[in-house]
Amino acid sequence: MPILQRQFEDFHTKILFDVDSSQELRDRRDTLLNNLSDKISDDAPAYDKFTQGSYALYTGIIPLGGNPDFDIGIHFDCSTQDFADPLILKQYVADALKHEGRDIRIRKPCVTVTYKRNGQAIHHVDLAIYVTDLWGQTKIAWGRDSDTLANRTWETSKPKELIGTITNRFSGDQRNQFRRCIRALKRWRDYKIGHGNLPSIGLTVAAFNTFSHCTNIADGKPMDILALRGIANGILGLWNGIRISVNLPVDPYNDLFQGMSDIQMNDFKDRLTSLRDALNDAYDHADTHEACKNLQQHFGVDFPLPPKTETTKKVPGGVAPSGRSA
């Protein structure tokens, strides 16, 4: 049976994307934040800024087709009572960031700034707008400029608590393996799922709930193929009838898959089952080349394919799932 750890780690290196790996994205981010500070309306309250999303969790990947994103939280020092219409603060942000070469769009959850080259989007930055209500609860500005006032609302959201909950569950080698598995799942989603209703945060939390650290019992080295197989098995075990529910681990504890139709849910289950079976087959296969060739059908050509002449390495002494750690 091939170990395939080198291939999984090479795959991870090839698909990972974070702000530290892109000078251009860092420059765009810094310029945007400087523009926001310099040009925002004098009527806008003071604010704090923080990184959120996959870059805060260190689970970002290079998306198929390009256009990677970066998520920033803008927390204004005011309450929901001060701005009953959340669009006002979103408009302050959008107006401050207007500049040639940027496409600014107010979307329901955020203000999106898209950069294009030769008419094609090359990356974008999402800025989510937050305030605190009178009871100390963090609220996100929800609604776009085309929505009626009744549909522009302040919704409960705790991005910093979510980041802390996920990043603090694991540490050291366990955390590293968890992040590699998340990135692999995201690339599988991009490659095999043909719609955008399977959210990255849903996959991340589902994996967070089912991950166990897997190592080679002989030498203690990681076995990502088994950790990923365990996640797939764990998620498949959560199905209840035709649907799966995975709730956010912090307030408002909403079902992260509620936006998927029954047809999309069934497709998700079928494709995840195929991934689980492919991981089983690859682990049991006698030939490294053929095992990797099969996995390419699920992860794409970025998953490395070694030469047919490469000697297959055996797994000595079995493996050990070490479980979760706080």
What separation in angstroms does the CA of 294 have from each of 186, 194, 252, 285?
18, 20, 40, 10
Q: What integer pLDDT is reported at residue 310 of this predicted model?
A: 57
Tokens 């366990």 belong to 174
Tokens 């204004």 belong to 76
Residues 216 and 222: their CA atoms lie apart, in Å, by: 6
What separation in angstroms does the CA of 45 have from each of 41, 88, 173?
9, 11, 42
CB 88 within 8 A of CB 143: no
pLDDT tens digits, 80-108: 999 999 999 999 999 999 988 889 999 99
pLDDT, mean of each 10-residue run, the chain (326 residues): 86 86 79 96 97 91 80 96 96 95 93 86 90 95 95 96 95 97 96 86 96 92 96 96 95 95 95 97 92 96 87 50 43
* Length of the chain (residues): 326
Q: What integer pLDDT is reported at residue 63 of this predicted model?
A: 84
Provide the CB-side half-sphere exposure for 143 (13 A, CA).
20
3-class SS at 324? coil
Q: What integer pLDDT is reported at residue 27 of this predicted model?
A: 85
Q: What integer pLDDT is reported at residue 52 of this predicted model?
A: 93
Q: Record the tokens describing residue 317, joined without a space.
A: 């002494």
Residues 286 and 23: their CA atoms lie apart, in Å, by: 42
Tokens 């009572």 belong to 81
- What's 147's DSSP letter? S
Q: Which of 150, 134, 43 is nearest to 81 (CA)?
A: 134
